[in-house]
Amino acid sequence: MAVQKLPLAKAINESLRVALETDPKVLIMGEDVGKLGGVFRVTDGLQKDFGEDRVIDTPLAESGIVGTAIGLALRGYRPVVEIQFDGFVFPAYDQIVTQLAKMHARALGKIKMPVVIRIPYGGGIGAVEHHSESPEALFAHVAGLKIVSPSTSADGYWMMQQAIQSDDPIIFFEPKRRYWDKGEVDNEAIPGPLHKARVTQAGTDVTLAAYGPMVKVCLEAAAAAAEEGRSVEVLDLRSMSPIDFDTIQTSVEKTRRLVVVHEAPVFYGSGAEIAARITERSFYHLEAPVLRVGGFHAPYPPARLEEEYLPGLDRVLDAVDRSLAY
């Protein structure tokens, strides 16, 4: 493939293809992942090329899908499970948090759980109820799970392979409104660590930290702020559990200000943990309180109101202005 410009969905598709070709123990399971290729076509063509024993159309039973994946992992397989939409994961929540997350510790390290659960998440596509949730904090709170989310095609390609190769259970949140955003993918590049944050734009006045769908918004905010003479550093966190606090701390001790941005509600969101930890670590470097921008503490609204609910450019810039006003 060398270097290609691919949409995020196609980059993940190519990554899954490489994993299936490389390791015969890799399986893909989910509702409509086979003949249809998934509702977002992320698994398009894989069943045709690898067969129904490797790319498996399952019944509409999320708990059964994840339970089966746990059994397959116990037998040495590396299942990749697709949950069709974020809001559909909750029938499987019991299996994920009471079995998948705890099996390794329960077996005193003798059992590995190399299961990847792919979840398209977030809003911005005008979907109906239960199709636009951001439940990442519910999983990040659970010890034994690792939580990641790519924001670019390159990360979608490499992070998926790294997740499949990991012996730990990983929840792989895919920002559905970025599925069609194109970016360069180099299949010969050496990726950094899966859970390492990245500085996507250097700055000196304030740090914006985000992941998944909000990284693009933060980059747009940084560009708008630059027109007013303000230098904004943008961090792509990439991982919500574990969180790369060292990279955040280094950035904050340079800029002395931090704004954390995510689509999920601010209340009890991952931004709260980041704010608390950075305040503990860098209290004497901060010149303003850590601010958070996110969704409201309310059920996700109908499609026509989602632009009012989701944090956008104006709300991020307002937080930057408030931080710099201290």
Domain 3-186, architecture per CATH? 3-Layer(aba) Sandwich (3.40)
Q: Please, which pLDDT band fits residue 190 given cuts at 50, 70 and 90? A: confident
The rounded Cα 135 to chain-centroid distance in angstroms is: 11
How much is the pLDDT for 235? Answer: 98
pLDDT at 1: 62
Alpha helices in 237-292 (DSSP H): 245-255, 270-282
Contact partners, residue 218, CB within 8 Å, separation at least 6: 208, 210, 232, 234, 261, 316
Residue 198's identity, in one-letter code, is R
Q: Hey, do 3-186 and 198-325 end up sharing a CATH topology, with the first three levels equal?
A: yes
pLDDT-based confidence at residue 2 (cuts at 50, 70, 90):
confident
Give, in degrees to the nearest 5, the angle at Cα 73 between 72 and 74: 90
Tokens of 292: 């958070």
CATH of domain 198-325: 3.40.50.920
Q: Is 0.95 topped by the overall pTM?
A: yes
Phi, psi values for residue 164, rounded to 5°: -65, -35
The pLDDT of 276-293, averaged and rounded, is 98
Percent of the chain whose predicted confidence (pLDDT) is above 90: 98
Q: Which residues are catalytic?
A: 131
Beta strands in the chain (DSSP E): 3-7, 26-30, 55-57, 78-82, 116-121, 146-148, 170-175, 182-186, 198-201, 206-210, 232-236, 239-241, 258-265, 291-295
290-302 pLDDT tens trace:
999 999 999 999 9
Q: Which of helix, strand or coil describes residue 301?
A: coil
Map out the domains of the chain as residue ranges: 3-186, 198-325
